[in-house]
Chains A and B, each alone.
Chain A
Amino acid sequence: GDSVTQMEGPVTLSEEAFLTINCTYTATGYPSLFWYVQYPGEGLQLLLKATKADDKGSNKGFEATYRKETTSFHLEKGSVQVSDSAVYFCALRTNAGKSTFGDGTTLTVKP
């Protein structure tokens, strides 16, 4: 079946540091890829997405590129802020409506 593997956390960074959270996937067909963010006590919300190979999703300084050849969708941000502290989930979704999520990576940014 489909699967998503995320870099294990937790990740602790200082403010303005560079962030990378690795995500790789296995899937049949051509899924869409997503990064969701979850702040404490809240539901997940979309951070960015990419729907086909070589697409780059971006939002709020975060970026991720759909790499079919390496089956990856790594999340990056050039300069993190304390307000970026949250749990980040990589996910894939097929056209059949099935979704598969990674285990989540907890990011803590210290001032």
Chain B
Amino acid sequence: EAQVTQNPRYLITVTGKKLTVTCSQNMNHEYMSWYRQDPGLGLRQIYYSMNVEVTDKGDVPEGYKVSRKEKRNFPLILESPSPNQTSLYFCASSLSSGGPDTQYFGPGTRLTVL
């Protein structure tokens, strides 16, 4: 089944403790992206990657890191999480970075930073 998977689905952590949220897709998509969803703010793009070893900042990259060493994986790293990073995170992928291409979303990771 074609899908985007994220792990973990739920995570509660404390300020300053490094964490990684994994994202994997099995559709051989070139493009992958991370978003955060907050009430009243919709989805905001954190980082995106147009291909292996190519990443770029979205609208809210501060406090996050990403890497794209393999086509299928695009982990999101929080080196020193803070409470304002408590949010619902979505990973997405698409065939290319082209505007018309549909993005396929993972199920989401709910992160709470205490």
Q: Which residues of A contact B (CB under 8 A)?
A: 1, 4, 6, 30-32, 34, 36, 42-46, 49, 51, 89, 91, 93-104
- Which residues of A sit under 8 angstroms from B92, Cβ to Cβ? 44
Bound together, the chains give a CA A102 to CA B35 distance in angstroms of 13
> Which of A49, A89, A94, A98 has the largest count of B CB atoms less than 10 A from its CB?
A98
Asked whether, in the complex, the Cβ of B48 is within 8 Å of the Cβ of A97, the reply is yes
Bound together, the chains give a CA A96 to CA B106 distance in angstroms of 22
Asked whether, in the complex, the Cβ of B107 is within 8 Å of the Cβ of A101, the reply is no
Contact of B43 among A31, A44, A46, A49 (CB under 8 A): A44
- Given A32-B100, A43-B107, residue A97 in contact with residue B44 (CB < 8 A): no
Asked whether, in the complex, the Cβ of B105 is within 8 Å of the Cβ of A43, the reply is yes
Asked whether, in the complex, the Cβ of A49 is within 8 Å of the Cβ of B42, the reply is no
- Given A42-B107, A102-B42, residue A95 in contact with residue B90 (CB < 8 A): no
- Which residues of B sit under 8 angstroms from A51, Cβ to Cβ? 99-100
Interface string of B51-84 (1 = CB under 8 A from A): 0000010110000000000000000000000000
The distance from the CB of B82 to the nearest CB of chain A, in whole angstroms, is 23
